[in-house]
Structure 1
């Protein structure tokens, strides 16, 4: 069966902590069930893999590359995998993090896009980060809470924010972004995104996932 790739847009609901697929909601739920049955080693139900790991497992699985073709197929996989993880997180007490983590990852992604001259990677990441956020929710439920060392969140958060500010300064210099006509406008946007990141990091775990996401993908 050749899987039909469907480009979906995503929105975060403002009245709850769930996200939804703006188009073809019934279709993607059906496709999620189909893919779970077709690729059980990818869409595991006992111990879920990180989205990147699941995708790499899929690439080595017969038929997967025909179902998820090229860049569009990769995006489709991450959206379906996010739906799969959300199902696994149904009874997760930490699902209240969902809206917060998606917004946090979106701000980090947008901030990095503003200090780069390429846009394709960040547009792709805007969809993929939904799966990363959902996995962050899944992962915290599998971690022994005693392993989360108590830290001074405010102090560590300031250090993280300063490291981002330094990256912005370095990028501005190296890419001569100050010569672009929209430089001033972008600086205001960067300040807004930094403020959002600061506000969305509310505890040790949200700081941890923000750092991992930022340093891994940017």
Structure 2
């Protein structure tokens, strides 16, 4: 009779995200992850060779979820909607949001990089997201992607919304009701593409 595994990779990945979300990267030791799942420490090593492997798997899982929420809107040239989509994603995925938006890969993997397959997967995800982002910037301007336009778009779509959410993610609890209004006002007050691009296009009357 084949014995069914009691603990899955998913169990350890979710436990890793929870520990990092609650206590930072240092909290996610192999022993702590196993303890969170209720598994013997040896059980996690049957699925992940190292701490960097389970952290890498957790990062890719959270990042893929984030990309799935934003990339389709970016490809459709809807930067404001993409920025606003961070809010429902964070509400529906609070643990993943705290894990992903309050940390950086350089901090998570400062001791040892994740194994090659996980690094390759992360590179693929980054290329996918960057392609959607650049397509959005190109579509909102005159087709030429300039450094200034990229900087504006990065600020409006990612940096500013995440900065608004960061204090609330750090302390937990409900996201502020004013976040959506602030993000919308930022997009209304600052064009995504540089002014010189907008001058060449006729104004659109709502």
TM-score by length of 1: 0.28
Q: Which structure: larger Rg?
A: 2
* TM-score of the superposed pair, with normalisation by structure 2: 0.29
